[in-house]
Structure 1
């Protein structure tokens, strides 16, 4: 599997990251292990998780694997902090104490003394940015994190925290990016390009919609049919997305590949994308994502997909 540098930092990761959002909740230990084996066999290295995934269950399952047959040196771990659990649900909190307490709990669950990349999970409009930056500095200086970054931050907030950072630098921005969600092209991508950051694209398959499995009906075992994930998929069950999915399926049929391969190949060819984060319920579902790495998307198809999925851009980005 191709390895890519994350922005201008020294961090080099596999072009695909294995997403673990559903691990320990919808994906059990045996199936998660099969996914990880397939991923590592394909040359993948980067595992993406978060303290909030399954209330820490995802990290705990990773810890179980690292305590078994998987060596810590075989994987790179990206985790996230900044969503604090309360009785009424998750609350965004990027304060220093919450971030560092969460990081320590993550390290304990995974049975490791460091993570390779640590991200602020979401933009916090309340916590002082200087305090958030201090937490990132402490994490790196103490050796608990090798590199740091942000996730789900708007363009101006990404630029602000990166500009204010001294050492360590903000190396990565993890953002949703796919053919059905190209919003980061307006301001986030120009910001990360200018500041030397790399993008980790989450949900490059449009929350599963770009697989084409929802074209005719909603499969009973799919995320869209799940009580806790149906709302996650719903934003892309619209006419605009349907037209994009049709184009992806047509391209896949023409090239004799799976729609997943088309969607992923498109994302991986976009500027600043260091890795695409892919998740699957089963190892069999993961296979087309791994196959996408060998697909060279023809320029004519890429341009057609660009056109049909182009996001609306106006003032001030375009005049």
Structure 2
């Protein structure tokens, strides 16, 4: 299931593509939209480069009122990291004084496959915007997230076909006292997803992120192990929403959830894209739905048998 559409909404705002040079299209109110700044990843000579587009944006829009930015593609994103983009955003922090949200790498598979996107160290970007409330990044290659403190961040989303253990440890070890929603696409080891449940220990223990109410540990090739770790994790008791979607969840992992601590306090349990039997989906629904828990079981998958006795199951987003 490759990512086929760009973000249409971000930080509660409609996404608006900043137009090409020479466009006569009118611009919306600076505070009313999330501004998408994107240049072609596979560019022709006449295409405007991202840095030129950003300079034009800064000169055109009332940056004092911009609340959200979505960085789309940049030239050769499959080979050139986001480091220069991060530096440019940091350099504009005295102009983007109302900025509350940034998404870095809003690309579809036609722009650049998720595992090809070359990211960089995003910690300096968060440090440069202490009032940032929401941050999202797509692509795990080259991504660095050393442990940090940020007093205002409420939402953190990291989308990857494979998320490295060092990144997971850095996030889990961060001091984010206002964080209410965390979503990590753990991915598969074929694309760098080499983390284990041990790397999530500070998060699962409940010691980190005291304001956390929504936790997503998604898109994992070892989703059964993740589910088993979550089943006894102290953090779950204070969650409203638990998201274990997009991964290789089988009856083994679902049984661990049912046999673990009560989940009847949840508002939603999202297991979309799963490998559960019909019997298990019925068990989950019967156990939780009467307590008002919305159990999301859309997009059931079937294992693939290659005819040689090997059975294959896949995460929703990898390459």
Q: Same fold (TM over 0.5)?
A: no
Q: In terms of Rg, which structure is larger?
A: 2
TM-score norm. by structure 1 comes to: 0.32
TM-score norm. by structure 2 comes to: 0.32
Q: Pick the structure with more helix per residue.
A: 1
